[in-house]
Structure 1
Amino acid sequence: MNNNNYKIINLAVEILQKNESLEFYEIFDYVKKHLFSIWSEDEKVRTNSETNALIEKKMGELYKLLTVDRHFIKNNDGTWTLNKHAVK
């Protein structure tokens, strides 16, 4: 796993440890708040369309990570929670 994915997962765990469950966009907003400047610098984002494309790409990355990482459970109502057995 690359360092960027590790940071994304850690931030998602961090916000979900503070909340019982959250919508995907709430988790993404928290991650974006902490990593957007790094993402935009790495991708050399200059225009609004590049910014929008970057956000869409990172949303996809977060969703993929949430679905494949054992730390997260998607609830029947579409919210996400932590798998208490996977988080130490």
Structure 2
Amino acid sequence: MQYKTLVDVAKEVLENHTKLDFKSLFEGVEAELFPRWRAETSPEISDEKLLENKRGELYRLLTIDGRFFHNEDGTWTTIRPDFHN
């Protein structure tokens, strides 16, 4: 099985959509990666805290990865928006 990162899975989720709000994007990533996250995380950490941490991590990674763009309407995409001067 190939190891996929948060941004790998986010890119795959966005390949099936023109754009998604962050909540929907995260839900797509969570659906694929949650079992691995849970297995790799201490049992003392609750699911809620784990998901909170992963949401923050994904948001941070999306903002620094040049393959993702944050649209004016608050959605995310991998399609580079047109820039208007």
User: Would you say same fold, with TM above 0.5?
Assistant: yes
Note the C-alpha offset of 1:7: 1.5
Where in structure 2 are the equivalents of 1:1-88 lying within 5 Å? 7-45=5-43, 50-84=46-80
How many residue pairs get matched?
78
Note the C-alpha offset of 1:19: 0.4
Identity of aligned residues (%): 36
Where do 5+ consecutive residues of structure 2 fail to align?
81-85
3-state SS of 2:73 partner: coil
Larger deviation, residues 16-25 vs 6-15: 6-15
- Between Structure 1 and Structure 2, the one with more helix by share is 1
Give 2:47's aligned amino acid.
T
Task: Determine which structure has more spread, i.e. the larger CA radius of gyration.
Answer: 2
Note the C-alpha offset of 1:44: 2.8
Note the C-alpha offset of 1:68: 0.4
Where do 5+ consecutive residues of structure 1 fail to align?
none
Moved runs in structure 1, 4+ residues, more than 2 A?
none
TM-score under structure 1 length normalisation: 0.80
Q: Deviations over 1:12-62 (max 9, x none)?
A: 11111110000001110011111101101111336xx71100000000000
Quote the Cα distance in structure 1 between the aligned partners of 2:42 and 2:36: 10
CA-based RMSD of the aligned residues comes to 1.7
Give 2:9's aligned amino acid.
L
Quote the Cα distance in structure 2 between the aligned partners of 1:12 and 1:54: 18
